[in-house]
Each structure stands twice: as C-alpha cells, then as structure tokens.
Amino acid sequence: MFIGHPAAAFAGKRLAPRVGLGTLFAAAIGLDLLWPFFTLAGIEHFRIDPGNTAFTPIDFYDYPWTHSMAMALVWSVIAAIMYRLFRKPWRDAIVVGAAVFSHWILDFVTHGPDLPLWPGGPKVGLGMWDSKPLTIIVEGLLFAICLVLYLRSTTARDRIGKIALWALVIFLGLIYLANLVSPPPPNWQAVAWTAIAQWLFVAWAWWIDKHRQARE
C-alpha cells in the first residue's frame, strides 16, 4: 500500500494528539523507510516484474527482515520503547508501536502472498492489488477518511499549517496517480532510491505539525 500508510499516520493523530505528525509518519511508513536500506545492502531483494499484480510491477520475493509479521512486531516494540525513552507516556508509545504494525496489516490486505509470517515462514497476503479499481477505491477512501479525522483533531496555527498540509496531500495524490500511469521502473535500484525519498514525507509531516495544534 502507498497512501494508506500516511493515512494511518493521520488517523494516529486522533488517537494520540500529543504525538508529532512526523513521528506518526515515520512509524506508519516505517517498514518501507527501512526496506530500501536492506535492499541496497543486499540483505533483501525484489525484482521488476511487470504484471506481478495489476497494481504494481514489483515482485517482493525476499524481504523477511522488514516485512515479515514477526519482524514487524519486533520493529513495533522497538519503536514504542524508543519513543518511551524520550520520557513520553506509555499510551502514546503504544500508539507509535501500533502505527508501525499498521503498516504490516495494510500491506497484508494489498500485497499478493509475499509477506512471510516470520523469516523463512509461510507467505501471506490478501492480494487486493490484483484489482486496480478496488485498490484505488479502498485506498482512496481510507486516505480521505483518515484525513478528515486529522482535520477534525487539529487546526492550523498559521498559513503554513494550512498550505503545507494541503500541498502534501496534493503531492501524495499526484505521486499515486503517476504510479498508476507510468511505465515500470528501469531497474530495482531506481525503486530503492525512490523509496528512500519517502523520508522526505517524514520531514514534511514534522514541519506541518509545527504549524498546527490539537483542537480543544
């Protein structure tokens, strides 16, 4: 899933208004933020395979350390503990951990059966990506609902709080559309480096958060 992960981050703000939006973005996109480093280091692998599913030309055949269910749980616990180390409330730390795990749940719904339960274990995935229309409807709706939740729980402090948020929303939407219509990427390295660029969204969300506040 792509915009489903930022969607989960937006929804997280509703559950834990004190947690920064940048932190929630880092958590919800989390596994995909780690994944390009694991692939570039040669620890995990994928290949370009046009038609792998209707939605994506990528065959995620080997990513047990970032995308197995067991490791997703481990990353979730690590994230929660790291957050707690900053002397934050346990409640908020648990929301951060849950945001990390939400990534696996959303990927489980969308991916074909390529997500191992544990490294070397059986692979699962409900395969929503086999249908382009279904993916667009479900992911689009999820994004819209979570964005509304976010808009209801925060308000802009200044103009940047409005403009930066809507610019991000439009940018995410455009990338999503571009993904749908563009030809398969030239090679796996291009995909990995593009994935690293997702760290930009974390910084962007952090910036938005500085210019918005929780509603009373």
Interacting residue ranges for Zn ion, rule: CB under 5 A: 31-32, 107
Indicate the residue among 36 and 161 with the shorter CB distance to Zn ion: 36
Nearest to 163 by CA among 208, 213, 215: 208
Whether residue 28 contacts residue 12, with contact meaning beta carbons closer than 8 Å, is answered with: yes
Coil/strand/helix, residue 46: strand
User: Taking the complex as a whole, how short is the minimal distance between the CB of residue 166 and Zn ion, in angstroms?
Assistant: 26
Of 52 and 153, the one with the shorter C-beta distance to Zn ion is 52
Tell me 37's DSSP state: H
Residues ≥6 apart with Cβ < 8 Å to 197 = none
By beta-carbon proximity to Zn ion, the closer residue of 109 and 164 is 109
Least distance from C-beta 32 to Zn ion, angstroms? Answer: 4
**Based on CB atoms, which residue is closest to Zn ion, 31 or 168?**
31
Distance CA 61, CA 100 (A): 21
CB of 156 to Zn ion, least distance (A): 30
Question: Terminus-to-terminus CA distance in the chain, angstroms?
Answer: 33
* Identity of the residue, 34 or 164, whose beta carbon is nearer to Zn ion in the bound complex: 34
Instruction: State the nearest-atom distance from the C-beta of 43 to Zn ion, in Å.
Output: 16
Beta strand pairing call for 123-124 and 154-156 = unpaired
Q: What's the closest the beta carbon of residue 116 comes to Zn ion, in angstroms?
A: 13
